Amino acid sequence: MDDGPASADVRSVPPPLWLMRYVANPVLRRLLPTRLGRWIPAAVLQVTGRRSGRHYRIPLLVHDVDDGTVVFTDAAWALNFRAGAEAELVRGGHRHRVRGVLAEDGAQVGPWLPEVLAAGTSARLLGPAIRRDHVPSDDEAAAVRRAVLLTEIPPL
């Protein structure tokens, strides 16, 4: 991810890779699809790689916004949604077919970050470190995180 307009007020602070890969993700992959998972603001996103064809099961924090459900990430898996893609979101024991679209520019990503923060989500959970009295600009938000907007596909 490019470090573009990130500033001293907003910077990316991802959790340690070893912690996510070997501790958090394996536990969450098993817990989130169960009924216990409904108490955690997270889900497992199941998507097929656009070029590799590989199947991914990605535990992630999900945030409901006016436009749908948004996921903030700096991980490479988000590129699978660059042209839009279908996936499955497993949340609290329920499966939802979704269409995901990658948002990379500030005008798209920027408005969702304040909405999620206003709903009570800690900036620490999202990854960026934001100075307490600072409201991030759209460009600052996009510089530290991509966003994937997920919208539910109605059943046939």
Residue type, 72: F
- Give the pLDDT confidence of 83-134 residue by residue, as tens digits: 999 999 998 888 999 999 998 778 888 888 888 888 888 766 766 566 667 6
Torsion of CA 58, 60, 65, 67, to 10 degrees: -10
- Note whether residue 3 is domain-resident: no
Residue 109 belongs to a domain: yes
Measured in residues, the chain has a length of 156
Share of the chain above pLDDT 70, in %: 80
In-domain check, residue 2: no
Q: How confident is the model at residue 10 (pLDDT cuts 50, 70, 90)?
A: low
Domain containing residue 136: CATH number: 2.30.110.10
Torsion of CA 64, 82, 54, 17, to 10 degrees: -60
Q: What is the pLDDT of residue 2?
A: 44
Domain that holds residue 132: 10-152
Q: Are 146 and 108 in contact (CB under 8 A)?
A: no
pLDDT at 4: 46
- The C-alpha atoms of residue 122 and residue 126 are separated, in whole angstroms, by 7
